[in-house]
């Protein structure tokens, strides 16, 4: 990687090198276990000119998203997050709720997954369209009654949708702005979709919390870049959009919701934008000092987790996993955790049952297996859903089991019976 994908600068500095791992959503079927498995370098760098953190584009979105293993609707808290967002956005943007005959407002979601968010728009009688590249999850959305176009967003796609359906009053792009290597073309696509007086809402993980909370497992090949508000402003401007407001969210361990509009109508940014920019500057994220200790703290997370697993094994105690998220595969591969230390993990998504984690080859089983086996510890891989999963897994209290969270530091939790 020699040039920043946003500004073209060659001034790229290393933040952390996680070695080489397979793509995090490439779960293996049983008949693939004896085949070669490609692995790609996972090295985060930051541009010291525009301060966009990024990894090399070694895999393409087409390789990752044509058949995708992640279905948003399997997270109860994420569905509720989407419902709340829709209710608030309808009020904020002033979208009317006229019928679906084309006379009312129009909402587009990019990377709409299985329709988890737009179903709330459909329920309100608001005309909408999802743009989702993954064939399998897009089909699930259509089955749920959410109109969905199977495409990647580009300026051309945006213009075609606008020509057919009209401009969008609101364009939503949640958890996708990090997933595209052509950040400039994608942003131009957003501008093609949105009305000249419309709104764009983007949710993306905040680099500030990633650095402060050791959230290095969210670095994986699907995530090509990692944003501060400062670098997001530069990215939005590349497509003719301007940031007008920002919200700090707890999702994914700490995210930002960016509210943008076409530059011609945006006006001055809110005080919240000014405040978050000041926090980022105070954390040193516009100079190399803010990144200098991150690699050492990542190494400590690895050592602490491996020490716990090895000592538990030597005591004859059992540890199994909960969840098979993409971020979990960065953690498992970086730590070199295999079935001798973690014999299996479970997941609520039936698509993953009977498959194996990429690289580490850990079996993925249905959640009921935990109650059947009564392990001493459950290692929670989707640590960002901590509150939800502490409640879901409260039953491990029945046999004295405990939960283990690896991020931001190793934490062993006693759970109370519900």
Average pLDDT of 21-42?
Answer: 94
One DSSP character per residue, 218-264 reads G--TT--EEB-HHHHHHHHHTTTEEEEEEEEE-GGGSEEEEEEEETT
Average pLDDT of 55-75?
Answer: 63
Q: Would you state the pLDDT for residue 96?
A: 66
Res. 135 pLDDT band, cuts 50 70 90? confident
Average pLDDT of 355-370?
Answer: 98
3-class SS string, 265-318 = CCCCCCHHHHHHHHHHHHCCCCCHHHHCCHHHHHHHHHHHHHHHHHHHHHCCCC
Q: Would you state the pLDDT for residue 67?
A: 52
Question: Directed axis angle between helix 183-193 and helix 155-165, to 10°?
Answer: 10
Q: Would you state the pLDDT for residue 94?
A: 87
Distance of alpha carbon 342 from alpha carbon 337, whole angstroms? 7
**Reading across the β-sheet that carries 40-47, which strands appear in turn?**
12-21, 40-47, 53-54, 225-226
Inter-residue contact 198 to 168 (CB < 8 Å): yes
pLDDT, one tens digit per residue, over 79-125 is 788 899 999 999 899 886 553 344 579 999 999 988 989 999 999 99
Per mean pLDDT, which range of 67-71, 222-226, 246-250, 258-262 is the poorest? 67-71
Q: Would you state the pLDDT for residue 100?
A: 37
Cis omega (within 30 of 0) for bond into 408: yes
Burial of 8 (0-12, 13-18, 19+ CB in 10 A): exposed
Q: Would you state the pLDDT for residue 385?
A: 85
Distance of alpha carbon 347 from alpha carbon 365, whole angstroms? 6
CA angle 257, 132, 36 (to 5 degrees): 105
Considering the chain, what percentage of its residues have pLDDT values greater than 70? 93
Q: Would you state the pLDDT for residue 65?
A: 53
Q: Would you state the pLDDT for residue 17?
A: 97
pLDDT, one tens digit per residue, over 210-255 is 999 999 999 999 899 999 999 999 999 999 999 999 999 988 889 9
Q: How far is CA 350 from CA 70, 80, 282, 360, 373, in A?
A: 11, 21, 44, 20, 19
Average pLDDT of 139-162?
Answer: 94
| DSSP state, residue 25 | T
Distance of alpha carbon 316 from alpha carbon 326, whole angstroms? 29
Distance of alpha carbon 13 from alpha carbon 292, whole angstroms? 10
Instruction: Calculate Rg over the CA atoms of the chain.
Output: 21
**Neighbouring residues of 202: CB distance < 8 A, sequence distance ≥ 6:** 173, 174, 177, 232, 257, 258, 260
Pairing of the two strands 106-110 and 12-21: unpaired
Q: What is the mean pLDDT of the chain?
A: 92
Considering the chain, what percentage of its residues have pLDDT values greater than 90? 80
The more confidently predicted of residues 372 and 92 is 372
One DSSP character per residue, 334-371 reads HHT--TTT---EE-S-GGGTT-B-TTT--BEE-THHHH
Average pLDDT of 303-320?
Answer: 98
Per mean pLDDT, which range of 91-100, 159-168, 252-261, 404-413 is the poorest? 91-100
Gap between the terminal Cα atoms of the chain: 51
* Count of other CB atoms within 10 angstroms of residue 371: 14
Q: Look at the alpha carbons of 355, 359, 361, 362 in this order and tell me if their dihedral is positive or negative.
A: negative
In degrees and rounded to multiples of 5, residue 391 shows phi and psi of -70, -45
Average pLDDT of 2-19?
Answer: 95
Res. 69 pLDDT band, cuts 50 70 90? very low
The more confidently predicted of residues 416 and 75 is 416
Q: Would you state the pLDDT for residue 111?
A: 92
Does residue 7 have a pLDDT over 70? Answer: yes
Does residue 417 have a pLDDT over 70? Answer: no
Q: Would you state the pLDDT for residue 64?
A: 56
Q: How far is CA 172 from CA 40, 256, 339, in A?
A: 31, 13, 40
Res. 1 pLDDT band, cuts 50 70 90? low
Distance of alpha carbon 179 from alpha carbon 181, whole angstroms? 7
Per mean pLDDT, which range of 12-26, 63-77, 291-305 is the poorest? 63-77
**CA dihedral angle for residue 391, residue 394, residue 395, residue 396, rounded to 10 degrees:** 140
Does residue 62 have a pLDDT over 70? Answer: no
Beta strand spans in 144-209 (E): 148-149, 168-174, 194-205
């Amino acid at each position: 990687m020699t040039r920043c994908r946003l500004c073209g600068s060659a001034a790229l500095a290393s933040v952390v090198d996680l070695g080489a791992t397979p793509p995090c959503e490439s779960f293996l079927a049983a008949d693939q276990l004896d085949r070669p498995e490609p692995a790609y370098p996972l090295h985060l760098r930051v541009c010291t000119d525009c301060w966009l953190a990024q990894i090399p584009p070694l895999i393409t979105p087409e390789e990752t998203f044509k058949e995708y293993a992640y279905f948003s609707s399997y997270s109860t808290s994420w569905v509720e997050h989407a419902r709340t967002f829709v209710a608030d956005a309808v009020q904020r943007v002033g979208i009317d709720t006229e019928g679906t005959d084309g006379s009312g407002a129009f909402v587009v979601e990019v990377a709409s997954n299985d329709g988890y968010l737009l179903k709330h728009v459909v329920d309100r009688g608001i005309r909408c369209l999802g743009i989702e590249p993954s064939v399998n999850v897009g089909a699930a959305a259509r089955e749920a009654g959410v109109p969905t176009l199977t495409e990647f967003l580009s300026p051309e796609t945006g213009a075609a949708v606008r020509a057919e359906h009209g401009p969008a009053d609101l364009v939503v792009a949640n958890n996708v702005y990090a997933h595209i290597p052509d950040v400039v073309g994608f942003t131009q696509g957003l501008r093609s979709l949105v009305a000249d007086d419309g709104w764009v809402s983007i949710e993306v993980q905040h680099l500030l919390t990633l650095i402060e909370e050791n959230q290095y497992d969210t670095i994986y090949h699907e995530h090509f870049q990692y944003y501060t508000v400062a670098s997001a402003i530069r990215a939005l401007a590349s497509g003719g959009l301007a940031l007008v407001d920002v919200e700090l969210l707890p999702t994914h361990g700490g995210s930002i919701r960016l509210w943008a509009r076409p530059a011609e109508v945006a006006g001055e940014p809110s005080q919240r934008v000014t405040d978050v920019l000041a926090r980022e500057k105070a954390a040193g994220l516009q100079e190399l000092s803010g990144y200098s200790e991150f690699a050492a703290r990542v190494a400590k997370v690895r050592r602490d987790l491996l020490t716990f697993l090895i000592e538990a094994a030597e005591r004859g105690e059992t540890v199994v996993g909960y969840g098979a998220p993409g971020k979990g595969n960065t953690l498992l591969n970086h730590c070199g955790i295999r079935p001798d230390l973690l014999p299996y993990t479970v997941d609520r998504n039936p698509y993953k049952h009977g498959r194996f984690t990429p690289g580490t080859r850990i079996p993925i089983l249905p959640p009921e297996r935990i109650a059947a086996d009564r392990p001493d510890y459950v290692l929670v891989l989707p640590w960002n859903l901590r509150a939800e999963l502490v409640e879901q897994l409260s039953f491990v209290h029945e046999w004295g089991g405990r939960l283990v969270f690896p991020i931001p530091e190793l934490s062993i939790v006693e759970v109370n019976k519900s």
